[in-house]
Homo-oligomer: A and B are copies of this chain.
Amino acid sequence: MKSNLSLYALTEALRRLPGIGPKSAQRIAYHMLQHDREGARQLSVALSDAIEKVRHCERCNTFTEEMVCTMCTSPDREQSLLCVTETPADMLMIEQTLAYKGLYFILMGSLSPLDGIGPKEINLGKLIARATDGVVTEVVLATSFNNEGEATAHYISEMLKARGIRVSRLARGVPVGAELEYVDIGTIARALLDRQTT
């Protein structure tokens, strides 16, 4: 092993990725060193580049390299509508429906008290400030329809209604228990049209 410290360190670093077990980590490390050192170099650069440059948009909290992302500064979007999603991937899904023309707020997670993820971890203070700017008149909750997503939607709904904001939720065309990222676009489009005031 002492003649292989850097291979060991690489395997351990790969194991830290979500969904990668010890066997996969070893196979990936061997593959890159044997067949794709150029890919390994690109990944190394991409990682250090991303952690240096990627930050959160000051308005919508999504990943961006600028202070405010291009979505938030677009003049073509309806400024009074704010859609709340758990992840940037969920936002992209909603964009693909072409059924929504407002702006977004990305929580970067969902409430999960048992995992130590409370209101602060999903940036609810930032959401309140954003939703009460005087321009937003309706917040559309597009969190997932599993337990955490529903609890998050309920919590945000109570919080914003107490501040006089109109809150709606994607209609229950989305299958209960499903995670938004895996739902077909047609269903999401239907659910957007049928959104219900809560």
A residues contacting B by CB (< 8 A) are 2-7, 9-10, 12-14, 16-19, 23-24, 26-34, 36-37, 39-54, 63-66, 69-70, 87-89, 108-109, 181
A44 to B52, CA, bound (A): 12
Copies in the complex: 2
Query: Which residues of the partner chain B approach A42 to less than 8 Å between Cβ atoms?
Result: 9, 13, 16
The docked-state distance in angstroms from the alpha carbon of A65 to that of B4 is: 6
Enumerate chain B residues within 8 angstroms of A40, measured Cβ to Cβ. Answer: 47, 50-51
- The residue among A24, A50, A52 with the most chain B CB atoms within 10 A of its own CB is A50
Selected from B4, B36, B53, the residue in CB contact (under 8 A) with A63 is B4
> Do A34 and B109 touch (CB < 8 A)?
yes
A181 to B97, CA, bound (A): 45
Are B63 and A7 neighbours in the complex by a CB distance under 8 Å?
yes
10 contacts between A and B (CB under 8 A): A3-B69, A4-B65, A7-B54, A7-B65, A10-B43, A23-B181, A29-B50, A30-B88, A32-B51, A47-B47
Q: Which residues of B contact A54 (CB under 8 A)?
A: 4, 6-7, 33
Q: Please state if A4 and B181 are interface contacts (CB–CB under 8 Å).
A: no
- The complex places the Cα of A7 from the Cα of B106 at a distance, in Å, of 16
Would B63 and A50 count as touching, CB distance under 8 A?
A: no
The CA of A53 and the CA of B10, in the complex, are separated in Å by 12
Within the complex, which residue of B6, B13, B26, B64 is in contact with A39, where a contact is CB–CB below 8 Å?
B13
